[in-house]
Structure 1
Amino acid sequence: MRVLIVDDEPLILNGLVKIIGEAAPLGTEVFRADNAFEALELMTECMPDVTVTDLHMPEKNGFELIEAARESGLCDRFIILTGYDEFEYVRRALRTGVMDYLLKPLGKDEIAALLERIEQELPSEADPEYSNHAKRILAYTKTHYMNDLSLDHLGELMSLHPKYISSLFKRVTGDTFVNYLNGFRIKEAQRLLRSHGRLSANAIGKKVGFEDKHYFTKVFKKYTGMTPGAYRDEGKLEYPASGEEACGAAGLELRDKRS
């Protein structure tokens, strides 16, 4: 299990790392970040199974961190840790869907029981169904990547909890579900851009699962470093003209010289 701890106060962060490191199940990896931006960057590398975060941090608070992480598919389990015992915070935490709302100072027994419960929810390679689940989910994703896929949809289809599927994706592919799906879609879009010259970039985007052309361009550029149009133009330069096109070009050049 991977646990990320986020707190902007160094002394408290050090203490949390020590307490959680001692309380967590054997084999748990503990990562640390002192602000939300560092946490989001670290999430892309370590892909935590659960994030323990303070609420009151400069620039981006704990609730904003949770929202950003969920939107990017970087983490879906959160424990809020704060020194403020206020009903409004508790209510908002419940609405946000966090696993628990803990008050500082953190009790070792309390966090140990919570982390033990989380570990039991995670997919385990020792589970005889683990391999079958992974094969079914990956096969379905690769076959239906052009459809409107989500963890909730896969969970309902496979009769598995969306959080289980999210964790399984991370363990099997080393990536989040969203990144894996988008990466697969972009690879297919690249193939179509090179092989189907008559299809517009917008049509290709829809064909691989992106209904919004602006979002398709944004994601394509993120994965390839260029827009779909630029990628197609670059391909035209790399590949020589066909025999028919070459003859046509030669004829045109000859006519130009005679005129």
Structure 2
Amino acid sequence: MKLLIVDDEPIILEGLVKVIKDAAPLGTEVREAGNAFEALEVMKGFMPDVTVTDLHMPEKNGFELMEEAKGNGLCKRFIILTGYDEFEYVRRALRSGVVDYLLKPLDKDEIANLLALIDEELPSEADSDCERHTKRILAYTQTNFMNDLSLDHLADLMNLHPNYISSLFKKVTGDTFINYLNAFRIKEAQKLLRTHRHLSVSEVGRRAGFENKHYFTKVFKKYTGITPGAYRETDDMDNIEVDSKESC
């Protein structure tokens, strides 16, 4: 489990990190942030399974942090910490979809039990989310490979963060997004070269998603070892495979 702790008071943050590290399930990776802005930056690379955050922070509070993090697909599980025992805060926190609402000072047994429950729920829920996002992303990529595609474009379209999509591609395909996309495009170009001999190399490249003929030729050779023209002339086309790993 990956866990992020956010509090704007350094001494309190240090204490929270110590208590939560001792209470968290074995193998939990813990990161910390001193405010909401720092937390959002950490999330982009860390992608925490759960974030423990103070509510009352300057400039951007815990509710605003949750809203932005969820909106960008950076984290969807939150445990709220506050020293204010007021029902309105509890009600608003629950409406925001937090996992739980805990008062300071933190009770070690209480947080240990809560984190253990979250840890038990993570595998199936995470796998389900990954599978759903993966199907959407791969389906869109394979259908729109001929268009101008980028991680930012996919992120806007899928309402996910580019870093999340990047890590998901690596996890599912074992490759980076750009390598996966280029390899897919080159395979489509090979099909066109085999079946549409009347098309020029430039047109084949364009239909495969490469606007520039020279760049298409360069990428094609990088992934197959020969140029598109040489590929079209060979008698052994079916045995020339696209090697995306070699091109990393």
- Fold-level match, TM-score > 0.5? yes
- What SS does structure 2 have at the residue aligned with 1:122? helix
- What SS does structure 1 have at the residue aligned with 2:84? coil
Task: Report deviation, 1:29.
Answer: 0.8
Q: Does 1:122 align with 2:130?
A: no
Contact 2:78 2:100 survives alignment (8 Å):
yes
**CA deviation profile, 1:195-244 (whole Å, cap 9, x unmatched):** 259xxxxxx9xxxxxxxxxxxxxxxxxxxxxxxxxx96xx478679xxxx
Q: Distance in 2 between matches of 1:38 and 1:149?
A: 24
Q: Distance in 1 between matches of 2:207 and 2:133?
A: 29
Match of 1:97 in 2: 97
Matches within 5 A, 1:25-40: 25-40=25-40
Matches within 5 A, 1:20-59: 20-59=20-59
Match of 2:14 in 1: 14
Normalised to the residue count of structure 1, the TM-score between the two structures is 0.56
One of 198, 202, 206 as aligned partner of 1:195:
206
Q: Distance in 1 between matches of 2:34 and 2:43?
A: 13
Matches within 5 A, 1:213-252: 235=212
- What SS does structure 1 have at the residue aligned with 2:70? helix
Task: Report deviation, 1:16.
Answer: 0.2
Give the unaligned 5+ runs of structure 1.
125-129, 152-167, 176-182, 198-203, 205-230, 241-259
Code of the aligned partner of 2:113:
A
Root mean square deviation of aligned Cα: 4.0
- What SS does structure 2 have at the residue aligned with 1:3? strand
Q: Distance in 2 between matches of 1:62 and 1:136?
A: 28
Code of the aligned partner of 1:24:
A
Q: Distance in 2 between matches of 1:171 and 1:123?
A: 17
Normalised to the residue count of structure 2, the TM-score between the two structures is 0.58
Match of 1:160 in 2: none
- What SS does structure 1 have at the residue aligned with 2:12? helix
Match of 1:106 in 2: 106
Contact 2:72 2:159 survives alignment (8 Å):
no
Q: Distance in 2 between matches of 1:236 and 1:142?
A: 26
Q: Distance in 2 between matches of 1:13 and 1:51?
A: 13
Task: Report deviation, 1:28.
Answer: 0.5
